[in-house]
Structure 1
Amino acid sequence: MRLTIVGHLKGQLTTATRIAMNRGAAVTHAESVDQAMRTLRAGRGADLIMVDVALDVRELVEALGAERFHVPVVACGVDNDAKAAVDAIRAGAKEYIPLPPDPELIAAVLAAVADDARDLVFRDPSMVSLVQLATQIAASQASVMITGESGCGKEVLARHVHSKSPRANAPFISVNCAAIPEHLLESELFGHEKGAFTGATSRRIGKFEEASGGTLLLDEISEMDVRLQAKLLRALQERVIDRVGGSRPVPVDIRVIATSNRNLSEEVRKGTFREDLLYRLNVVNLKIPPLRERPADVYELSAHFAKKYALANGMPVRPLSAEARMELARGRFPGNVRELENTIHRAVLLSTGPEIGAEAIRNPDGAPLGSGPRDTATRAAEAAESVTRGFVARSLADVERDLIFDTLGHTRGNRTHAANILGISIRTLRNKLNQYDDEGFAVPPPPSGVAAA
């Protein structure tokens, strides 16, 4: 957890600093907004900024946005000035903390920023084996590719790999390759020198240098332009980067983890992703199953989110009723863990009884969870699952006999057509039908006027 404190506040921030450091935070001080920005540009990143409300909070928030530093800001003040607090919130601060600081309040703010949304919660056997593999390879220096559908928890697993690695005490830096415009991503990753392009008014350290000694997560790497992929490949191979406008290479010491919700082998075939880069990144592949294939995790995560949002909203922690659990089991969750989290948050707010009931498990429009519009693929998957359930606990011979009889019903008893559909010879079909007749089953008759074999 990296905390930057901006301002003086009559020495009260010294107390806040000591509290934060006791809670495990690495603290950096800056006397002004300008100095804080210089610190960030120099690669000394922050997970949270606490700023004196007497400074220009709006200037800080706008400067962070203009230079693409995605850091939450908390305003602090020693005076009981309600207007200053309201103005700070309106300017973009996430919270206002009165000083002298309350140790528990400081701890709560740090915990909310640092860990709450990053818990790795699982129970399903498929995730147990995956997390075991992730833990096993964490100690290595190998690059890791984490794949899976959107919202299934790829970044959470990446943080787990980092936390179990020898780099755990060094920075974990995440870059969303899909969220940054193509013409800015190179500068974001590799940094730039002053005057390298219009608007480059000062040197900016990129994420590769900021993450040096730690882990760099390249989220949704499949969205990266193929031309920039060549520079990334060199950085991975040579462990040096070139700042935009720079005159000499800069060595870096990082471990790279990449994620994608696409089939990168298919992207290679289409020419949108470099094959050599895929080989370099995909030393170890961790494929996260979608939530619909992890039924035990649905219940485990639901209980986790129910507690989380009850506490966040000042409500009592309530268990999920048996009916609510059954309703959740019906959900397909195309948005995976992210969708489940929103569903449970909504349920916590809608519930009124001692338990979270099935009536609170709803889509955003208020409809029951399983009643929303479904695309063709979803309907086909549900139909296939329904058919598969019909096979459970039955012998192969019974399933085969019913399939033959159903096919004969479809062909109105025509043996030749049925054999063609089933992919067997007419002799094999006749032998099967004779066997079923000997066993006492009612064999569908052939069409009228056609002799039975």
Structure 2
Amino acid sequence: MRLLVVGKLSGQLSAAVKMAMSAGAKVSHVETILAATHALRAGQGADLLMVDYELDIAGLIEANEAERIRVPVVACGVGADPKRAADAIRAGAKEFIPLPPEAELIAAVLAAVSDDNRPMVVRDPAMEQVIQLADQVAPSDASILITGESGSGKEVIARYVHQKSRRASRPFISVNCAAIPENLLESELFGHEKGAFTGAVARRIGKFEEANGGTLLLDEISEMDARLQAKLLRALQEREIDRVGGTKPVKVDIRILATSNRDLAQAVKEGTFREDLLYRLNVVNLRLPPLRERPGDVVALAEHFVKKYAAANGMPEKPLSAEAKRRLAAHRWPGNVRELENAMHRAVLLATGTEIDEMAIRLPDGQPLAPADPHARAAQAASLAAETASRSFVGQTVAEMEQQLILDTLEHCLGNRTHAANILGISIRTLRNKLKEYAEAGVSVPAPQMGASAA
């Protein structure tokens, strides 16, 4: 994460900076409130501000809001004056860190506020296939569309792709298109010039320029309005952007990742999403299965969250009981990984014995998980398999089903056209014509792999 420290680097604040760097933060420093806003406006991005509580924190937050800059603030100060600490929180600071600092407290605050240190925990074969594909495409600069239900881990896989890419040492910038009002999103993405609108007192660098050389994640891209989609399409095609109120384009070098929990092909049919933009974004699709379709990950993730929240709350790490594991694996988790994480956070706080038993794992309404029924679990698995298979075809045209079958068979044959044609029961000429048609429409066609003939 990127940390901007605001204040004079006294001995205690310097110690806090060193601890933050040891915890993995990339730290920069300015001395004044005015310099902090100027740095953020000029594109020196930050995921978190650590501000001396003797400075005008309310003024800093107000100035940032006026510039449409939203970065969380934590206050810090020597002596831990209760009144000053309370004033800082009331002014908008998320946390207060007393100085001299403690390394564990610094690390915990950074993790709690930024939440960008989320390792990839994978045990289930369904997710292992997704990771394998992510590993294949990560070194390229291809745009990737990451799809899946809310809470399934789309941003986690996006960060994973960035970390495995050639741009790993450069910025990873995330923009939640659903969380930013439509009239502010354009400025957030592309920046603005002084005087472009009321309150634009100076040039503001947008997320495209802030991510230059690195990766830009457009989270929940389906929520972007049609006018802005057109501007985004031009940015992707030309690799240049226009600031709001600007008079000349600005070149950018970034890789685009996008996520959606909606069916964008259906959104295209409904006229709410541009088809040409979908083709630009969907060079490769990473579909994250919901947690109920990857039961092998449930216990591994649960144990990871137990360790995380035991450390965050200064509590001993307790193992999960056998019955707790059975109930965790049997639950469908409609809220996916996010729901499981919240449940395990509660369990860490509620467990009273030497283990985290089944009664400590509570649903949001306070009820415990239902007992695991092995017969019901088997029936649920069979039903889920049938549901998944049927859902993959419902709503598709015959041509779309044919395309999916041809491409899946070709991939199974490692790109060997002759073998695929034999399996499909069609001539090699028909197969080649179909593949040529798909390629011309912008569809990715599997190439022959090492040792597989392209005949």
Q: In structure 2, do the counterparts of structure 1 residues 17 and 224 end up closer, same or farther at CA, with 3 Å as the change threshold?
A: same
In the aligned structure 2, how far is the partner of 1:31 from the partner of 1:245? 31
| Number of the residue aligned with 1:45 | 45
Asked whether 1:122 is paired with 2:122, we answer: yes
- Give the letter aligned to residue 132 of structure 2: Q
Deviation string 1:268-297 (CA, Å, 9 cap, x unpaired) is 111111111111110111000000011111
1:384 deviates by 7.4
When residues 281 and 296 of structure 1 are mapped into structure 2, their CA distance, relative to the original with a 3 A threshold, is: same
Q: Is 1:385 aligned to 2:380, yes or no?
A: yes
Partner in structure 2 of residue 187 of structure 1: 187
Give TM-score scaled by structure 2 length: 0.78
Q: Does 1:267 align with 2:278?
A: no
Question: What corresponds to 2:196 in structure 1?
Answer: 196
Give the alignment of 1:9-408 within 5 angstroms.
10=10, 12-21=12-21, 23-103=23-103, 105-113=105-113, 117-370=117-370, 385=380, 388=383
Supply the distance in 1 between the matched residues of 2:267 and 2:385 (Cα, whole angstroms): 37
For residues 347-381 of structure 1, the C-alpha deviation after alignment (integer angstroms, 9 at most, x for no partner) is 2222211111111222222223359xxxxxxxxx9
TM-score, length-normalised on structure 1?
Answer: 0.79
* 1:21–1:369 Cα change, 3 Å: closer
Q: 1:359 to 1:257 in 2, by over 3 A?
A: same
Q: Pick closer, same or farther for the CA change 1:240–1:104 going to 2, 3 Å.
A: same
User: Displacement, 1:322?
Assistant: 1.4
Cα contact 1:306–1:317 (8 A) shared by 2? yes
Aligned residue for 2:69, secondary structure, equals coil
SS in 2 for 1:145: strand
Change (3 A) 1:318 1:26: closer
Q: 1:40 to 1:311 in 2, by over 3 A?
A: same
8 Å contact from structure 1 (residues 332, 370) kept in 2: no
Offset at 1:141?
A: 0.6
Cα separation, partners in 2 of 1:271 and 1:40, compared to 1, 3 Å: same
Please give the alpha-carbon distance, in whole angstroms, between the structure 2 residues aligned to 1:125 and 1:225: 37
Equivalent residues, number? 382
Q: Once structures 1 and 2 are overlaid, which stretch shifts more, 112-121 or 350-359?
A: 112-121
Structure 2's unaligned 5+ residue stretches are 387-455
Partner SS state of residue 155, structure 1: helix
Instruction: Give the corresponding residue for 1:413.
Output: none
Deviations 1:156-199 (A, max 9, x none): 00000001111111110000001111111111110111111222
1:103: how far off? 4.7
Tell whether the 8 Å contact from 1:154 to 1:259 is kept in structure 2 after alignment: yes
Q: One-letter code of the match for 1:385?
A: Q
Once the two structures are superposed, what CA deviation does each residue of 1:377-428 show, in whole Å capped at 9, x if it has no partner? xxxx99973875999xxxxxxxxxxxxxxxxxxxxxxxxxxxxxxxxxxxxx
Q: CA deviation at 1:335?
A: 0.9
Q: Which amino acid aligns with 2:367?
A: A
State the SS of the aligned residue for 2:186. Answer: helix
Q: Per-residue displacement from partner, 1:295-329 (whole Å, max 9, x unpaired)?
A: 11111111111111122222221111111112212
Deviation per CA, 1:20-43: give whole Å up to 9, x if none.
Answer: 445553322222212101110111
Alignment deviations for residues 67-113 of structure 1 (CA, whole Å, 9 cap, x no partner):
44332322122334232222222322233233344455444444555
C-alpha distance in structure 2 between counterparts of 1:288 and 1:58, whole Å: 41
Structure-2 separation of matches of 1:45 and 1:302: 33
Bigger CA radius of gyration: 1
Letter in 2 for 1:73: V
On the 8 A contact 1:77/1:98 being kept in 2, the answer is yes
Q: Report the more deviating stretch, 322-331 or 87-96.
A: 87-96
Shift of 1:66: 4.4
Q: Distance in 2 between matches of 1:297 and 1:319?
A: 17
On the 8 A contact 2:4/2:30 being kept in 1, the answer is yes
* CA pair 366-103 structure 1, distance change in 2 beyond 3 A: closer
Q: Is the 8 A contact 1:143 1:281 kept in 2?
A: yes
| Letter in structure 2 aligned against 1:247 | T
List alignment gaps of at least 5 residues for structure 1.
372-380, 392-453
Q: How does 1:437-448 map to 2 (within 5 A)?
A: none
Cα distance in 2 between the residues matched to 1:47 and 1:220 = 20
Give, in whole Å, the separation in 2 of the partners of 1:364 and 1:256. 35
Which residue identity lines up with residue 233 of structure 1 in the other structure? Answer: L
Does the aligned pair in 2 maintain the 1:218–1:259 contact within 8 Å? yes
Q: Is the 8 A contact 2:67 2:199 kept in 1?
A: no
**What is the CA RMSD across the aligned residues, in angstroms?**
2.5
AA of the residue aligned to 1:99: L
